[in-house]
Amino acid sequence: MVLTFENLTIRNATPDDAKQLVLWWNDGLIMAHAGFPMGLGQTVNAVVEKLKNDNDESFRHLIIEVSQNAVGEMGYRNRGQGTAEISIKICDFSLHNKGLGKKLLSMLISFLFKDMKYEKIVLDTNLENKHARHVYEQLGFRKLQILENSWKNQLGESQSTIKYELYLNDFIDFTK
């Protein structure tokens, strides 16, 4: 899959992307929001093997490019019963708060609804990630549930999660 809009590209990750993904996944600053302030400790070989198992029916890692430069990642997972779970991480901090997340998510969500025929998109995020929550809600996601102190990060600190869902009729596409 290759999706483009303006200077943005979302494409399937390949084994050639493993080195870049390892740099991001092992960086505690990038991974702190996901509960891994010490990074994931991944190896290139392990990531290559993960990427070899990607497919449209179960899970797909995606690379985000801005002006043909890799700046982050997305993913989607088939949760069954017409539901896809998505994720996004813009790893280049200089690109945060520039409206890219809304456009990138719009691109992926539109593809999942229209081309992959999913009926519902779900995601979750850290309750403290107020910026991401604002973006999700602008896209039409509806809050389902807040799970207070539902997990602990690598440092043993309690974290809370908020779960969202989105149906095609509620989707606000920022690429139109």
pLDDT in tens, 5-59: 999 999 999 999 999 999 999 999 999 988 999 999 999 999 999 999 999 999 9
Q: What average pLDDT does range 140-167 have in this prediction? A: 96
pLDDT in tens, 62-114: 999 999 999 999 999 999 999 999 999 999 999 999 999 999 999 999 999 99
pLDDT for residue 66? 98
C-alpha neighbours within 13 Å on the C-beta side of residue 101: 22
Pairing of strands 8-12, 59-66: antiparallel
Task: Read off the tokens for 92.
Answer: 């280049």
